[in-house]
Structure 1
Amino acid sequence: MKKLLVLVLLLHGPIWSFHLPEVVARPDPPISMAAFPPGTQVGLEEHHPMDPNKKLLIALIFTSTALGAIILSLMCLWNYLRKNSLKSHQKYTYSSDPLKGLSLTPFMSKHDSMGISCNKGAVTLMDYNCLKTATEDFRESNVLGVGGFGCVYKARLEENNHVAVKRLNGGTQDSIREFETEVDLLGRIQHPNIISLLGYSIHDETRLLVYELMQNGSLETQLHGPSRGSALNWHQRMKIALDTARGLEYLHEHCNPKVIHRDLKSSNILLDSNFNAKLSDFGLAVTAGTQKKNIKLSGTLGYVAPEYLLDGKLTDKGDVYAFGVVLLELLLGRKHLEKLAPAQCQSIVTWAMPQLTDRSKLPSIVDPVIRNTMDLKHLYQVAAVAVLCVQQEPSYRPLITDVLYSLIPLVPVELGGTLKIQQPPPLTTREP
């Protein structure tokens, strides 16, 4: 097309290369016979037909101009379509070998609701059939846990890389919304105490989320499963509490706008091979500013703050309340709700509050696994933090930052705190 334009210009020359005699139009003055001497004959200018060469020249000028305008318009249109085509191709192309993560495809939610400034980039779109093979066709023996919308499976990718795959079945509005929120949010943030989302997949009505594998499962399983907390000593429990507080503090203080998890509980706190804790399950999370909109009341009974349950008032202090419940689970070894009768339950908060503030009773209600293994001053301090977190009035609860700094001195240095444990002096033997 460019060659055609050059050819036309060479044949006819640019329109600015032709010079016509300048014609200035002026009104003709009226002719008065008095202006001529008597007997003078006034003659009119004789008009001759236009030279054919001039007609041809004018025709060529107009033709060249019109043809140049058409060619220029077509070139602009072609460039516009070409650029859009490239952008579209780049947006929707993903790796033919997705398990290697060679390319990223951004997941765009319908509402793009988060808009969080602390982003880390897009999440990998993975092939459904590859993930199906990696889970051995979602074999029951590979189930790691069961959630509200589906199961979590252990999967093995290439090079013996193990991951966790959450399968969300059904296309209900709630499950789709939680899936979109999870991908959108975890695709934007990154923190050592927040689970890493490695990829996702959509196949018909089935949606898959691929996470890093947390070898020690959930805190709920560790505390209330077959081991009954025997793998967690006092310092490890304080380390888990500190990790959880750090994850929440990042969401509340370092994300803009702040993120409210809205479903913090022991089953959503996952533990890796070294018992480092990470927050998971962000399907119900909301950002500051959107929590005042018409949001469906969601959460887990026993962890939900009273003001949210009764009045629908949602703030970051709701996460602080849930953290207080988790801290009580770590301290007492009890579940967040205990059944008293088939239709009656008692929360750990209701049961523990009268005894937490009584120093004479507190040591006796501590989880037997860790009873008498900690400094009593530290025990009283943790109990005081838990009591503040589960206050009925949200304004009485501390910020998660305050909670974080109150726990750091209780965790040994080697576990991420500032506590220096004094080693007992070596035993000496007397010579006989």
Structure 2
Amino acid sequence: MRGSTPYWRSGPWAKTRFTGIPFMDESYTGPFTLHQDVNGSGYLTYFQRDYKLSRITLTSEGSIKMFRDNGMGWELYYEAPKKLCDFYGACGPFGLCVMSPSPMCKCFRGFVPKSVEEWKRGNWTGGCVRHTELDCLGNSTGEDADDFHQIANIKPPDFYEFASSVNGEECHQRCVHNCSCLAFAYIKGIGCLVWNQDLMDAVQFSATGELLSIRLARSELDGNKRKKTIVASIVSLTLFMILGFTAFGVWRCRVEHIAHISKDAWKNDLKPQDVPGLDFFDMHTIQNATNNFSLSNKLGQGGFGSVYKGKLQDGKEIAVKRLSSSSGQGKEEFMNEIVLISKLQHRNLVRVLGCCIEEEEKLLIYEFMVNKSLDTFLFDSRKRLEIDWPKRFDIIQGIARGLLYLHHDSRLRVIHRDLKVSNILLDEKMNPKISDFGLARMYQGTEYQDNTRRVVGTLGYMSPEYAWTGMFSEKSDIYSFGVLMLEIISGEKISRFSYGVEGKTLIAYAWESWSEYRGIDLLDQDLADSCHPLEVGRCIQIGLLCVQHQPADRPNTLELLAMLTTTSDLPSPKQPTFVVHSRDDESSLSKDLFTVNEMTQSMILGR
């Protein structure tokens, strides 16, 4: 027997091993009885409780098997040891045998297998060795000195020695100050046990057992703290990421929900009584109609997006205005155009058939104009011959009638704010139709003037008061109409026209031409054979009346149409403000929105 007798006479190990037979806890009952004398010697006795013939066998593996005669042969009714932890030193030095339904060996904390390969094969008898060597005294301050790690539910290892102590703290201090002490355990009723040799035959139970303190290098314990810190940090970071992704998911769902509500709200804002005859198309239908917005179907590019030709399944041809996501036209302008055009019914206004609102896509579906827009004829060297002077004069009158309807005859007073040749569409009979009401404003009653800090429109067509102060009224549209008239008469583009070394603008040249020759030389020379000089001169004079600097000097729409349809005397126009432009009129201010106070574009005003 190893160890001192008093320890093995109490606690869960009151029955100990002789001849290699271990008795692990108090639950064990077997046929052997332990006898010990005062000298520490001991022996086992076996008492046959029945009178059946029996025999005991000691195998070469070191186990005892007991058999008895049951009348039919020898019956095995006892065998020890049976489990891994029953074998002495099964896990080797500094190995810990863990009692469980499937017993296994592991190394004490701070130890690693002596032979990893042997452990992988299930041979644990080689035991474990320290991962980090001990430093009993540490540095001068003792900060790196060894410390003790506690393990619960342990059957204390073999090779212990007794050390006198009165309590657990004193037992701890005795081991701390003894550099050869590798472990200690204080057991009530027994005392202080210390180990100065390899820990052999240690077993850990799921319950019961003693508290063993084993000496380890400080770095092993600090490593545990670092590991805990790392684990805590990882857990915290993981939780933070989970919370972050959760918050992002909630935010994303909320944004999508709001967008969905907003999209539905756009549709809900359009009441049936507000938009009679307006249809809502789905994106799939429009994609099929336009061959998925192919380039071959593209009719043109405007300040707010592209226009495509399409054909519905019933064969009806349509024009689809696809608003660009980078355009300045947002919900307000889009809703404006839908509501306005659906309410405005006139032969000189383009008719909207419906719209499509799907996610970021905003589409307007118009009646298809076979001859596209006026600028495709007016500024093309060959097509301009197709519109002689009578046709151009009809177009001017048609635009004026459409403008009269917007300003006076419709139930809503509408100011277009972006009247220009590219926004005048032509049907199969070359009848003009005003389009693109994205920037239009509606008014009730006698209200006729407003101010905006958001100046939008096309350079060259904007009236001076609108461009410089943000003030607009129906007289702003009259100014644009005057520019439009001069372009139709001359066949020249306001933004590209430059005459003489002084680079005179179209308006400046028209004023000079009318003042000297009554404007006859302003006329497109290709129209000379089809025009009436007096009629042309009268139209030039009307155009100059429309582009006068002061809004009060310009005619209103009623007066304008009367001037065009009668031969009454016309007032003499005042010299207009001449503005030099260097930008193409396709560069719309809607692409570069700015407030009046922040305007930095320079313009030279002539007198």
CA contact (8 A) 1:168 1:207 kept: yes
Task: Give the counterpart letter for 1:210 in structure 2.
Answer: I
Residue 385 of structure 1 pairs with residue 545 of structure 2: no
Counterpart-to-counterpart distance in 1, 2:544 and 2:326: 41
1:60-95 superposed Cα distances (whole Å, 9 cap, x missing partner): xxxxxxxxxxxxxxxxxxxxxxxxxxxxxxxx9xxx
Greater relative contact order (CA < 8 Å, ≥ 6 in sequence): 1
**1:109 positional shift:** 4.5
SS in structure 2 at match of 1:284:
coil
CA contact (8 A) 1:169 1:205 kept: no
Moved over 4 A (4+): 105-110
Counterpart-to-counterpart distance in 1, 2:513 and 2:532: 18
CA contact (8 A) 1:302 1:347 kept: no
SS in structure 1 at match of 2:285:
helix
Task: List runs of 5+ in structure 2 lacking aligned partners.
Answer: 1-260, 568-607
* Among candidates 358, 372, 376, match of residue 203 of structure 1: 358
* Among candidates 472, 475, 491, match of residue 333 of structure 1: 491
Alignment partner, residue 70 of structure 1: none
- Flag the 1:122–1:295 CA change in 2: closer, same or farther, 3 A: farther
SS in structure 1 at match of 2:530:
coil
Alignment partner, residue 457 of structure 2: 299
Counterpart-to-counterpart distance in 2, 1:166 and 1:345: 36
* Among candidates 452, 468, 476, match of residue 318 of structure 1: 476
- The aligned runs of 1:241-252 (5 Å cut-off) are 241-252=396-407
Task: Give the counterpart letter for 1:259 in structure 2.
Answer: V
**1:339 positional shift:** 6.1
CA contact (8 A) 2:490 2:523 kept: yes
CA contact (8 A) 1:248 1:400 kept: yes
- Flag the 1:238–1:290 CA change in 2: closer, same or farther, 3 A: closer
> TM-score of the superposition, structure 2-length normalised?
0.46
Alignment partner, residue 216 of structure 1: 371
Alignment partner, residue 427 of structure 1: none
**1:120 positional shift:** 6.4
Alignment partner, residue 158 of structure 1: 313
Residue 396 of structure 1 pairs with residue 559 of structure 2: no
- Flag the 1:163–1:273 CA change in 2: closer, same or farther, 3 A: same
* Among candidates 506, 512, 515, match of residue 354 of structure 1: 512
Counterpart-to-counterpart distance in 1, 2:544 and 2:324: 39
Q: Percent identity?
A: 35
Larger radius of gyration: 2
- Flag the 1:175–1:384 CA change in 2: closer, same or farther, 3 A: same
SS in structure 2 at match of 1:154:
strand
Counterpart-to-counterpart distance in 1, 2:348 and 2:301: 22
**1:138 positional shift:** 0.6
Task: Give the counterpart letter for 1:320 in structure 2.
Answer: I
Task: List runs of 5+ in structure 1 lacking aligned partners.
Answer: 1-91, 93-104, 411-432
Counterpart-to-counterpart distance in 2, 1:377 and 1:249: 25
Task: Give the counterpart letter for 2:522 in structure 1.
Answer: I
CA contact (8 A) 2:513 2:520 kept: no
RMSD of equivalent CA atoms: 2.7
**1:252 positional shift:** 0.4
CA contact (8 A) 2:450 2:473 kept: no
**1:301 positional shift:** 0.5
- Flag the 1:172–1:365 CA change in 2: closer, same or farther, 3 A: closer
**1:261 positional shift:** 0.3
> TM-score of the superposition, structure 1-length normalised?
0.64
Paired residues, number: 298
- Flag the 1:295–1:123 CA change in 2: closer, same or farther, 3 A: farther
- Flag the 1:108–1:224 CA change in 2: closer, same or farther, 3 A: farther
Task: Give the counterpart letter for 1:312 in structure 2.
Answer: G
CA contact (8 A) 1:323 1:389 kept: yes
Residue 373 of structure 1 pairs with residue 545 of structure 2: no
CA contact (8 A) 1:120 1:190 kept: no
**1:376 positional shift:** 1.9
* Among candidates 405, 411, 424, match of residue 269 of structure 1: 424
Counterpart-to-counterpart distance in 1, 2:465 and 2:452: 16
Give the stretch that moved more between structures: 280-289 or 314-323: 280-289
Alignment partner, residue 140 of structure 1: 295
CA contact (8 A) 1:107 1:183 kept: no
Task: Give the counterpart letter for 2:401 in structure 1.
Answer: R
Alignment partner, residue 239 of structure 1: 394
* Among candidates 174, 193, 198, match of residue 348 of structure 2: 193
1:155-212 superposed Cα distances (whole Å, 9 cap, x missing partner): 0112321110111132766333221111111122211111000010012111111000
